[in-house]
Structures are given as C-alpha cells and as structure tokens.
Amino acid sequence: MSLPEGEPAPATTPLPKTVRLCDGRSCLIRLISPADADRLQRFVRGLSEDSAHQRFFAAVHQLSPAQLQRFTASSDPMDFAVIALARDSADTPIAGTARCLRASAGSHSDPSSGAAFGAVAVEFAVTIADAWQGAGLGRLLLTELIALASQLGVGVI
C-alpha cells in the first residue's frame, strides 16, 4: 500500500499512550526496546500454532538471541516496532506487536503503486496474542505503525 502523496498519516497522539479496546481492556502502546527481549520471547512462546504460522510462516515458538536482538534493537531506522502491553496483568505481557522492516531492493518497483521510483519501502507484520484477538488491537497497532512510517519518510508500505 502506498501512502497517498501529500496526505498526512492518520492522526495519532505521541507514544507511549494508553488505549482502550472495544472489549474494555486497556493496553499501553509504545516503541519496542532492548529491555523487551525477554517479554518478546514469552510472547512468541505463547502464540498458538496458527498465530505463529501467520506471523513466521512456520511453527516458530522460540527466537534465537540474534533474532531477539534484531527485533528489539535494530540499527536500521526503517526497522522498527510498536508493542501493546497488557495493562490488566501484573507482569505486563505483550498483547500484540506491529513491525516495519525495510523492503528488499526491487520489491516495490511496481509502477502502478503510485510511489515515486526509489521511494523508501517497508514490509510490515502485525501479530496479536490469541487472547487479545478480535478486540481491535491489530487495527490500532497498524495505525500507529503507518503514522511512524510516514514520519520517517516511508513512501511505500
């Protein structure tokens, strides 16, 4: 999807922020950080087979140390993620993640996309913990991701 030229990203408030979902639960949405590595590992371990396959295209239930490092502390400014932390739990587990990753060269060369040739392009993934699915969290995380991508100069998502 291309961000419309000259159109601002969806209006959002600065992160971190607390949101209330349609089922009444609340989450804190913020950028992921290296301190979230253990929390992210627990999140991945807790995904159902279906949710893990939807995210990783395989039954992944454990991230390697290198993957944890890349997912929580990338050196590429076009590789970023927002997370939603459950506010109603003592250990504040991750309820969902949304990640952008710089697209490989040539993956956005479709002239019908409307984006300028050479525009920065990213791929994205949204993963919601099974117990949090269906409450609108994925939509909220994607909205935040699009807004951040626009602020960073991304032309194609």
φ, ψ dihedrals at 128, nearest 5°: -120, 135
Residue written as tokens 């913990």? Answer: 129
The predicted pLDDT at position 67 comes to 87
CB-based burial, 69-104: b 16+ in 10 Å, e otherwise:
eebbebeeebebbbbbbbeeeeeebbbbbbbbbbbe
- Residue 7 to residue 124: CA distance in whole angstroms: 20
Angle at which helices 65-72 and 37-45 cross, to 10°: 110
Q: List the one residue out of 131, 42, 47 whose CA is nearest residue 93.
A: 42
The predicted pLDDT at position 57 comes to 57
How far are the Cα atoms of 17, 64, 90, 99, 113 from residue 134, in angstroms, in the given order? 20, 29, 23, 19, 30
The predicted pLDDT at position 4 comes to 46
- Residue 34 to residue 47: CA distance in whole angstroms: 21
What are the residues facing 2 on neighbouring strands? Answer: 156
For every one of its 157 residues, what pLDDT tens digit does the chain have, with 9 covering 90 and above?
Answer: 444 444 444 445 688 999 999 999 999 999 999 999 999 999 999 888 777 656 665 566 777 899 899 889 988 888 899 999 998 766 789 999 999 988 865 544 454 554 555 678 888 989 999 999 999 999 999 999 999 988 888 888 7
Local structure of 21: helix, strand or coil = coil
- Residue 123 to residue 104: CA distance in whole angstroms: 9
For 5, the token pair is 């030229």
pTM: 0.79
